[in-house]
Structure 1
Amino acid sequence: MQDARRAAERSQDRRIVSIEEPRQVLVSARDAETWVRRLQEEQRRAGGDMKFAVVVVPGWLKSDAPKVYYDLKQALGPFAGRAGVASQMVLTSTLSQDAARMQIARNICQQILVKCGAWLWTFSPLPYMRRKVMVVGVDARSASVDNGQSVQVLCASTNCFFTSYFTTWRAKESVRRGLDFTSPPLELLLEALGHFMRMHGRPPDSLVLYRSGVSDSQEAALFESEVQELIDGALQRALLATEACATSGVDLSDWARTFEIAYILVRRNTRARFRTEDFQNVPSGTVVDEGVVAPRMPGSGHHDFFLVSQSCKQGTARPALYSVLYSSLSMSKEELVDLSYMLCGMYMTFTGRVSVPAPLRYATKLLSQICGMKDVPSRPAASASSLQHKLFFV
Structure 2
Amino acid sequence: QYMANVAMKVNLKGAGINHTTQGVANWMGDTLVLGADVTHPGSSALAGSPSITAMVGSMEASGGRFTGNMQMQQAKTEINFDVQTLVLPLLRRWCQLHNKWPSNVLYYRDGVSISQYDDIVQKELPGIRKAFTELAKQAKRSVPDFKLTAVIVTKRHSTRFFPTKEQDAMASNQNTRPGTLVDGVVTHPYYTDFYLQSHNAIKGTARPAHYFVLRNEMAITTEELEDLTHQLCHTYVRATLGVSYASPAYYADRLCERGRCYLRPFYN
The answer to whether the superposition gives a TM-score over 0.5 is yes
The TM-score bracket by the shorter chain reads 0.7 to 0.9
Higher-Rg member (1/2): 1
Task: Give me the whole-angstrom Cα distance separating, in 2, the residues matched to 1:130 and 1:198.
Answer: 16
Q: What do the CA deviations read for 1:231-277 (whole angstroms, capped 9, x no partner)? A: xx434433322x2x23xxxx655x32xx1111111001121001121
**Can you give the 5+ residue segments of structure 1 that lack an aligned partner in the other structure?**
1-102, 297-301, 377-394
Task: Give me the whole-angstrom Cα distance separating, in 1, the residues matched to 2:24 and 2:231.
Answer: 9
Secondary structure at 1:360's aligned position in 2? helix
TM-score, with structure 2 as normaliser? 0.85
Task: Give me the whole-angstrom Cα distance separating, in 2, the residues matched to 1:305 and 1:184.
Answer: 29
| Distance apart, 1:292 and its partner CA | 1.2
Hey, what does 2:172 align to over in structure 1? none
The 1:105–1:127 alpha-carbon spacing in structure 2 relative to 1, beyond 3 Å, is closer
Hey, what does 1:310 align to over in structure 2? 199
TM-score, with structure 1 as normaliser? 0.59
Secondary structure at 1:324's aligned position in 2? strand
Hey, what does 1:8 align to over in structure 2? none
2:251 is the alignment partner of 1:357: no
Structure 1 counterpart of 2:87, from 189, 194, 199: 189
Higher relative contact order (CA 8 A, sep 6+): 2
Hey, what does 1:158 align to over in structure 2? 59
| Distance apart, 1:128 and its partner CA | 3.3
2:180 is the alignment partner of 1:286: yes
Task: Give me the whole-angstrom Cα distance separating, in 1, the residues matched to 2:135 and 2:157.
Answer: 36
Structure 1 counterpart of 2:255, from 361, 366, 373: 366
Letter matched to residue 244 of structure 2: S
Task: Give me the whole-angstrom Cα distance separating, in 1, the residues matched to 2:82 and 2:215.
Answer: 15
Task: Give me the whole-angstrom Cα distance separating, in 2, the residues matched to 1:123 and 1:130.
Answer: 11
Hey, what does 1:340 align to over in structure 2? 229
Trace 1:240-319 onto structure 2 (pairs within 5 A): 240-241=136-137, 243=138, 245-246=139-140, 253=143, 255-256=144-145, 259-278=146-165, 280=169, 281-296=175-190, 302-319=191-208
| Distance apart, 1:213 and its partner CA | 2.4
Task: Give me the whole-angstrom Cα distance separating, in 2, the residues matched to 1:113 and 1:336.
Answer: 29
Native 8 Å contact 1:227 1:325 kept in 2: no
Aligned residues with identical type, % of pairs = 24
| Distance apart, 1:111 and its partner CA | 1.3
Hey, what does 1:104 align to over in structure 2? 2
The 1:362–1:131 alpha-carbon spacing in structure 2 relative to 1, beyond 3 Å, is closer
Task: Give me the whole-angstrom Cα distance separating, in 1, the residues matched to 2:31 and 2:124.
Answer: 20
Task: Give me the whole-angstrom Cα distance separating, in 2, the residues matched to 1:215 and 1:271.
Answer: 14
**Can you give the 5+ residue segments of structure 2 that lack an aligned partner in the other structure?**
170-174
CA RMSD of aligned residues (A): 2.4
The 1:106–1:213 alpha-carbon spacing in structure 2 relative to 1, beyond 3 Å, is closer
Task: Give me the whole-angstrom Cα distance separating, in 2, the residues matched to 1:287 and 1:105.
Answer: 32
Secondary structure at 1:128's aligned position in 2? helix
Q: What do the CA deviations read for 1:318-375 (whole angstroms, capped 9, x no partner)? A: 0111111111003222111111100000111111000111121111112112113336
| Distance apart, 1:156 and its partner CA | 0.6
Secondary structure at 2:26's aligned position in 1? coil
Trace 1:375-394 onto structure 2 (pairs within 5 A): none
Structure 1 counterpart of 2:50, from 130, 136, 149: 149
Letter matched to residue 149 of structure 2: A
Task: Give me the whole-angstrom Cα distance separating, in 2, the residues matched to 1:229 and 1:113.
Answer: 34
Task: Give me the whole-angstrom Cα distance separating, in 2, the residues matched to 1:341 and 1:217.
Answer: 26
2:134 is the alignment partner of 1:238: yes
Structure 2 counterpart of 1:138, from 36, 47, 56: 36
Native 8 Å contact 1:207 1:260 kept in 2: yes
Letter matched to residue 269 of structure 1: R
Q: What do the CA deviations read for 1:255-303 (whole angstroms, capped 9, x no partner)? A: 32xx11111110011210011213742222222122111333xxxxx42
Aligned residues between the structures: 255
Native 8 Å contact 2:52 2:72 kept in 1: yes
Deviation beyond 6 Å, 4+ runs, structure 1: none
Letter matched to residue 140 of structure 1: V
